[in-house]
Structure 1
């Protein structure tokens, strides 16, 4: 999905930044509110100095100007991030249009505006028509164009009775006819909620952000007390100092850089998730994704492609390959599943033209109770199914040679299907589910992040172990039912771990609601989307891995810029404190390591640098610091080296350059 280019957002963001100077809005950011109070006081002192011609008018005016600019730059960072979200919301609004709906009534159907539909209403959609609102398919199957929502041009299949029964208002039916039940009232549809969620102005602070805000307030109070006591010490020593300098010192020492960028970092995290076609219902969901310890993944469709293919027919002792191939073909002749079609194709290849006349076939469909399928013909009854299901069907254990084949297939990661005719075992079909490419590398990245991965599957332990080994999964949970997955999440959470998972079905909803990070598929049921705290528009279960990396990137960006901001204060201390006291205490000249021209230029240079560093860091705050999967210790070393040491050295160079410029302009 395309977003509006940032370059077109600068002017409205600047206007919004000016509006945000309102103290009634700014008080929510105590650090910047204190800067505004200092700006007002400095402005009043500058006006007083200019009126009374005390000689400090120009200095106070310049300091006041740069203090106001500091506020504007900080507000601009937050405004720009918000307007990016609003631009995305506007893009979504353009996809919404008023369409007529064919509401089903007791007497047939009637044409009504789509906006008049209410939860529980039924409507019919024909080929070529737009779906008027969110709903669940009750009858039918359709090919649907969801490009207006997901940006993906390829149509998708939605059908009744499965986990891909949800439809979204604003999408269009290309082929097929569906009967849909409305699941959302006007203003509460998925598109409406998406628009609200991506608008940064509605973002609530996450717990991590609240904790960091409290830390910044604490640091601000400490420096406020320190600076507030300086006049008393100066008075005791028989000295005096300018209130303008004291305010400048306070603003330079308190963590203005991170306080100004903090809201933008959080909003940008949600923005990055949205660019990945993931709608996060809160900033907290994105951040928690960066802190998770355990990632639960389904096997089918997530780790593997899901459509198992028949790759080998293995006859039992005493059975000819042709007899097994014919049994497989007859048992799969009317099997419409992907596995059944695959077995039929392989069987026909094995028979290679020796196919005899097809008898009349009565299909026996697969059921969860029998766990096998097949067909009844005039030649006999053919069945294919799992090892334990077939043993229960034939009434005795499988032959030893067949058991060895079954175990070998399972250990290799395949799925064995035992084939019989009239309860006589003829052989085994080897079904293979292919692991998606690139997953072992991505799981290795997660491992370096400190995130453990667990595959949850209904397969037997041997098959699960082989797939987990091939995919690079840390652990697996075999023969799992939906309630087992919920129990596993609760068990791990009781150990103090944060758990993430993805899902799309109604039976996934309890687990999604329990998980700390729950990525629901847009194609899934309404229950799953309501239970999750994120929705993937692409309906890609592996997107959860990308979500984790986005969360990590957000946390790293915030931590790095906080380190940089605090380190900045050290350098500004060496700029202003000597300037304030060197005239009275020449011994403090040793602290003037920058060799700044004068106290006036030193204070002014520090204030200018303090203001300019905020817009300089806005692109980094919005883009985020590139995440690399390294351990916590290595990450700490990197932060301290680049953003800690860099945060100390850069102000020394920057303040010195500004001082040289002021000296050139004779502002000393």
Structure 2
């Protein structure tokens, strides 16, 4: 194939390294004066009615402020100007709460933008899987040598800006270069610095053909080189989506927010009608008692427009109306601070309503670094022969378990750690969720000739004198089935040994072999590898907390039922699913959802994608495949499966915060109603004087004090809205009782105290007191 090439730089993007430690996490005080100053212009811009239309409560406040402005300009008074100023401040404070929450996200987005550089990518044209990618020396040598491969074909290496890459493009990335876009490693293995995204300085391994193949644009290759297939279109990369989400540009109202907005709108209509009924009552009262002197609150035409507008603003649920958006934005920000990217606010809310938690055993409940502890031979097989077969079957197994088998055979049985290249015509069989086995096929059973007990493992002559040996290790049921299908028998003591290892909380891996081919083939079980894992400390307490919250925990594991039961009892989970396949996870999720429950789970592999997509909360690991990250509605940048429990707690904190502030706001409105109305009409209707327990100075000071309190309480609650109500694991009924006693009662008491204190101050203002 004849191609042309272009000259490329040796290290594209190498000059633009992100700062160490990645993007700075936005912190600081919740009411940092500098942050307030930066947010104030945005708050003023939000005064545009086209922006406020989505918040009907605050839109009515703004209309009231504009109405009083017109009335005060037409008939100036100290009382009118004070009311007008504080009504406008109420709208500004509400906008400020949202602007502060958005400002924290925008600061995070700015840090992420700094990780995006004008990277130059080396795009490969004509390359296919299995071909050798051009080396750095070939590229540096120029056009005549670029892209030479073993088959005699050539690969075009083209220099292009990263933004021009499209889905399906294949790029070559070498040590010291930035990965130009999101994709999957299709060739090679490399150490990658992901601190620009995760903030963690420790490098991670990314390799082709496994669940650690996904790479993110903007991260840097530290060693070796990899070929990456781009999986995203321009503008749709992981960083692009993250920036849009933390800025709030992609934020959509959640069902709970929509329902609460409908409730607030209904309450606004009710209080609007209540205020409207006061006008004919006031006109009738003035007509019946003409001796009552005119005031700023009551004239011969009834209640003044300024007072009506003020009263309406004080009675409608402005507190929660002002803070509702900030609460949702802050909830997503708390996830970002913990390196979790939520694709929507709906996912955060769903986390708070989760009923069932599906947790992988390995890495979540246990440490996940299962190590070989003992080789247990069966059927008269020698320990050395079992060790030899176990080591051979694990040479290409890069999992911690596989490496531990190789090391254990070397240290305890004197077997040299052989490399796969030493074996003649060996074919390594990878582990899959379907077969639940891995191993090696040897064309010559004498391969790796250091086998102990040679006669014991000798093959049997097959057709045409061909010798063959197959070794498998894996789940007991899978290897037993494999041996039986090859015509072998199962030693009687195998079941007892497997059950004993499982009952002790260990994981038994059965090793079997088939030697020879055709009718002369001989299949047998050699023995059991005992793997030991350790349950993480504190897990039982965490699951007890989940139980108090009404959440059912289910442990998912590929172990046999006895091992799963032992680990489940030690950890304290409610249930377990043993020998689980991806299809089993999907069936379990659908069964839970059919019972009306919300389900959360984690996953990282392509085979987890259907279950992640089906779950109400699907948390994909950043180290996982692109398919898993696309299927889930959250991505954990730290790839920590235990963080699912934290995500649920953040979701519950969001819902509790919204409920607490709604309770406080509605209780506030009721209290203000009983504080203001008696003060306004006690001089007209003597019976109302009994309800005027605060003894406010004048109707004007009562109205002004309530308006000022209404504005200041929004500012006072901004830190709580951003930080969230402190969450303590407990049942729904206990949380309801606590909210009613703390925020309901507090919402009733606070206006009485606050309005009285303000009245004691404003009564000395001329024209008010």
Normalised-by-shorter TM-score class: over 0.9
| Aligned 1:401-440 pairs, distance under 5 A | 401-419=493-511, 427-440=527-540
Alpha-carbon distance in 2 for matches of 1:116, 1:172: 19
| Other-structure match for 1:585 | 685
| Other-structure match for 1:228 | 276
Q: Secondary structure at 1:310's aligned position in 2?
A: strand
Alpha-carbon distance in 1 for matches of 2:644, 2:398: 31
From 361, 375, 395, the equivalent of 1:299 is 361
| Other-structure match for 2:476 | 387
| Other-structure match for 1:269 | 331
| Other-structure match for 1:2 | 24
Alpha-carbon distance in 2 for matches of 1:609, 1:14: 21
From 564, 568, 579, the equivalent of 2:668 is 568
From 146, 150, 163, the equivalent of 2:194 is 146
Paired residues of 1:81 and 1:200 also in contact (CA < 8 A): no
From 44, 47, 55, the equivalent of 2:70 is 44
Deviations 1:193-234 (A, max 9, x none): 111111124421111001000000000000101110111122
Number of equivalent positions: 660
| Other-structure match for 1:460 | 560
TM-score (norm: length of structure 1): 0.93
Paired residues of 1:273 and 1:547 also in contact (CA < 8 A): yes
Alpha-carbon distance in 2 for matches of 1:509, 1:91: 30
Deviates more, 1:320-329 or 1:236-245: 320-329
From 164, 168, 178, the equivalent of 1:120 is 168
Q: Secondary structure at 2:639's aligned position in 1?
A: coil
Deviations 1:78-127 (A, max 9, x none): 11111111111111000100111111123431222222212111110111
Alpha-carbon distance in 2 for matches of 1:74, 1:273: 23
Deviates more, 1:303-312 or 1:131-140: 303-312
Shift of 1:317: 7.9
Q: Which runs of 5+ in 2 are unaligned?
A: 1-22, 127-154, 290-301, 459-470, 516-522
Deviates more, 1:440-449 or 1:391-400: 391-400
Paired residues of 2:407 and 2:417 also in contact (CA < 8 A): no
From 79, 82, 98, the equivalent of 2:102 is 82
Deviates more, 1:508-517 or 1:342-351: 342-351
From 704, 707, 714, the equivalent of 1:604 is 704
CA spacing shift, 1:156–1:329, aligned 2, 3 Å:
closer
Deviates more, 1:317-326 or 1:109-118: 317-326
Alpha-carbon distance in 1 for matches of 2:218, 2:418: 51
From 77, 82, 90, the equivalent of 1:62 is 82
Q: Secondary structure at 1:140's aligned position in 2?
A: strand
| Other-structure match for 1:169 | 217
CA spacing shift, 1:336–1:614, aligned 2, 3 Å:
closer
| Other-structure match for 2:439 | 373
Q: Secondary structure at 1:593's aligned position in 2?
A: coil
Say whether 1:282 aligns with 2:344: yes
CA RMSD, Structure 1 to Structure 2 (Å): 2.6
Shift of 1:404: 1.3
Say whether 1:210 aligns with 2:258: yes
Alpha-carbon distance in 1 for matches of 2:503, 2:662: 50
Shift of 1:385: 4.1
Shift of 1:398: 3.5
Shift of 1:559: 0.3
Deviates more, 1:203-212 or 1:305-314: 305-314
Alpha-carbon distance in 1 for matches of 2:364, 2:643: 9
| Other-structure match for 2:296 | none
Shift of 1:69: 0.8
Deviations 1:570-627 (A, max 9, x none): 2212221011111101221111111222222221111111110001100110111111
Q: Which runs of 5+ in 1 are unaligned?
A: 51-56
Paired residues of 1:372 and 1:389 also in contact (CA < 8 A): no
Q: Secondary structure at 2:303's aligned position in 1?
A: coil
Shift of 1:488: 2.1
Deviates more, 1:412-421 or 1:225-234: 412-421
Shift of 1:320: 6.5
Say whether 1:18 aligns with 2:107: no
| Other-structure match for 1:54 | none
Shift of 1:370: 8.0
Say whether 1:197 aligns with 2:286: no
Q: Secondary structure at 1:271's aligned position in 2?
A: helix
Deviations 1:460-491 (A, max 9, x none): 22222222222222112222222222222222
Deviations 1:528-563 (A, max 9, x none): 222221111112222222111111010000000000
| Aligned 1:309-388 pairs, distance under 5 A | 309-316=371-378, 328=390, 336-351=398-413, 365-367=428-430, 368=432, 369=435, 371-373=437-439, 376-377=445-446, 379=454, 380=457, 384-388=473-477
Q: Secondary structure at 1:295's aligned position in 2?
A: strand
Paired residues of 1:227 and 1:246 also in contact (CA < 8 A): yes
| Other-structure match for 1:53 | none
Shift of 1:390: 4.2
Paired residues of 2:379 and 2:525 also in contact (CA < 8 A): no
CA spacing shift, 1:258–1:504, aligned 2, 3 Å:
same
CA spacing shift, 1:332–1:184, aligned 2, 3 Å:
closer
Specify the structure having the higher radius of gyration (Cα): 2
| Other-structure match for 1:129 | 177
CA spacing shift, 1:506–1:425, aligned 2, 3 Å:
closer
Alpha-carbon distance in 1 for matches of 2:378, 2:590: 45
From 470, 473, 476, the equivalent of 2:570 is 470
Shift of 1:361: 6.0
Paired residues of 2:393 and 2:438 also in contact (CA < 8 A): no
Alpha-carbon distance in 1 for matches of 2:540, 2:383: 36
Alpha-carbon distance in 2 for matches of 1:104, 1:507: 29
Deviates more, 1:155-164 or 1:11-20: 11-20
